Structure 1
Amino acid sequence: MPELILEIGGRVFEVACQPGEEASLERAARLLDAEATRIGDAGRSTEKRMLLLAGLLLADSTTALQEQLRHAEDRIRQAEERTRIAEAKSAMLAANALKLETEASHKLSPVEVAELREENEFAGALLGKVITRINQLAEELEGA
């Protein structure tokens, strides 16, 4: 089991960790040390109080980040649901367009059939843009 020597708040600690966790532990120690130093520079505090306050500040930051993550995940789920709905509507439009085209080819003039095809293509392109935009929003939220 690896043992690390960490300096936090001007004090040296020897800490054991699982293999592969060394970098993560060192990052956490640097964050805690930075907060402890900031608190120590701000005023006279005992070592225990300084480390306690530093830990509480980091925990508060972590809680805020977790809340932001939950909010982003909710927005991603909503965007995914809107995408599924848009895709389902797109499939229905395509099926209806095919049905109408088949029916129209038996009743309508070639000019009318061509107009319906153009309208169908326009609707499909517009729906494609909507799906693309929803996917972009979902990707932006995933990156946030």
Structure 2
Amino acid sequence: MPELTVEIGGRVFDVACEPGQEPSLARAAQLLDAEAVKVSDSTTERRMLLLAGLLLADSMTALEDRYLALEDRLRQAEERARIAEAKSAMLAANALKLETQATHIIDPRALEELHEEKDAAVALLAELVEEIEALAERAEAGAAA
């Protein structure tokens, strides 16, 4: 099992970890050390580490809340996309019906309206796809931060 030497609040610690977890442990130790440095001047070592841990936990909670809010927004956007897809399918079915009728009636104005409905449905779907992709990118960026 790999062992990593880390410095937190001016003290050196040897910490064991699973193979491959060394970079993650080193990053966690850096974060804890950065918080420990903020509170180290006026407290004992135990209190310093406690406060540093609490500061990190507070930051983590804020990030988790933000991540959950982004997930919720993404679910809402996906639901709107499903609704738009259903509407688009209905419009396409109506358009096909009208187009079939138009070929028998040969009313150019009705045929033009049918094409406009189809184009509107396609544009709506494109907008929703862009919105979902933007939300997914923001969610991924928030999770990576």
Length-normalised TM-score, structure 1: 0.86
Q: Do the aligned residues in 2 keep the contact of 1:9 with 1:36 (CA within 8 Å)? A: yes
Unpaired runs of 5+ residues, structure 2, are none
- Structure 1 match to 2:124: 127
CA offsets, 1:63-120, max 9 Å, x none? 11111101100110110111111111111100110001112322343x2244234423
Match runs of 1:48-63 below 5 Å: 48-63=46-61
Alpha-carbon separation, structure 2, partners of 1:68 and 1:74? 10
- Structure 1 match to 2:62: 64
Match runs of 1:2-41 below 5 Å: 2-41=2-41
- Structure 1 match to 2:112: 115
Query: What is the percent sequence identity of the aligned residues?
Result: 58
Aligned-partner residue type, residue 52 of structure 1: L
Aligned-partner residue type, residue 131 of structure 1: L
* Secondary structure in 2 matching 1:45: coil
Aligned-partner residue type, residue 7 of structure 2: E
Aligned-partner residue type, residue 38 of structure 2: R
Unpaired runs of 5+ residues, structure 1, are none
Alpha-carbon separation, structure 2, partners of 1:29 and 1:106? 75
- Structure 2 match to 1:138: 135
Length-normalised TM-score, structure 2: 0.86
Q: Do the aligned residues in 2 keep the contact of 1:36 with 1:50 (CA within 8 Å)? A: yes
- Structure 1 match to 2:74: 76
Q: Do the aligned residues in 2 keep the contact of 1:5 with 1:12 (CA within 8 Å)? A: yes
Alpha-carbon separation, structure 2, partners of 1:27 and 1:134? 33
Q: Do the aligned residues in 1 keep the contact of 2:2 with 2:18 (CA within 8 Å)? A: yes
Aligned residues: 141
- Structure 1 match to 2:44: 46
Larger radius of gyration: 1
Supply the RMSD in Å over aligned alpha carbons.
1.8
Q: Do the aligned residues in 2 keep the contact of 1:82 with 1:134 (CA within 8 Å)? A: no
